[in-house]
Amino acid sequence: MFTLKIIVLFTVIVSLHYDFCWCRCADAEYEMNGQCCPMCAPGARVYRHCTENISTTCAACPEFTYTDEPNSYTKCFTCTVCDSSRGLRVNEACRWWSDTVCEPLEQFYCTERIKDSCRNAVKHSECSPGQYIKQAGTPSTDTVCADCEADTYSNGSFSSCLPHTQCEALGLTETSPGTRSSDRECGNTTTAPIAIIVIATLIIIIIAVVSVFIVIHKKRRSNH
């Protein structure tokens, strides 16, 4: 009796599996009203479903639309627009059989990607004064910044921090200390006294010339 139940159960399972396989459509087909209809190729859509006597009728996608795989769609998809306000530009134009491929603008990197196309991008970060560009930004990664160490500086655009100028080594004196964002300023201590002496000498010469001119002018008036 137990053996008979097993045989009956096995027969039912095999029968159901056979029916299931018999009704399943192939990979390049789709089911419509009990019929397995051939799918349309990429770049086309279903214009009329198949019947018992007629195969699927396909139509090419209109301009600015596409399908990128075998399908049973009655409408094609609208091509994606690469919006510059989202930091995007066209890498590959839309065709009947493939969507537009967008890529980031210059100095932007992708933050959202679908398949091979970027859907949103943002501008690379700028390093602050006192930092240097440790790793330049790419179309897929942001800029990486790092702080300058002591006695070095960067205005934020350098690829490495520069050492502060050594004024003493140049025979100069420090007039302004260096920071992490600016270089040390150097000057010559003898410049100021020399300038003062030159200016004072010029003033004395001018006064002397004016005095001589006045004396000569008075003498001429007295002679008259």
User: Residue 20: what residue type?
Assistant: F
Tell me whether residue 95 is in a domain: yes
Compute the average pLDDT of residues 145-167. Answer: 96
Range(s) of the domain holding residue 91: 81-123
Give whole-number Cα distances, 5 to 2, 9, 12, 22, 190, in Å. 5, 6, 11, 26, 116
> What pLDDT shows up at residue 193?
62
Cβ pair 26, 36 in contact under 8 A: yes
Cβ pair 45, 61 in contact under 8 A: yes
State the CATH number of the domain containing residue 47.
Answer: 2.10.50.10
Do 31 and 68 fall within a single domain?
Answer: yes
Give me the residue label for tokens 């209109």.
62
Q: How many domains does the chain have?
A: 3
> What pLDDT shows up at residue 224?
61
Tell me whether residue 200 is in a domain: no
From 123, 140, 156, give the residue that closes a domain.
123
Tell me whether residue 42 is in a domain: yes
From 100, 123, 146, give the residue that closes a domain.
123
**Number of residues written out for the chain:** 224
Tell me whether residue 109 is in a domain: yes
Higher-pLDDT residue of 97 and 219 is 97
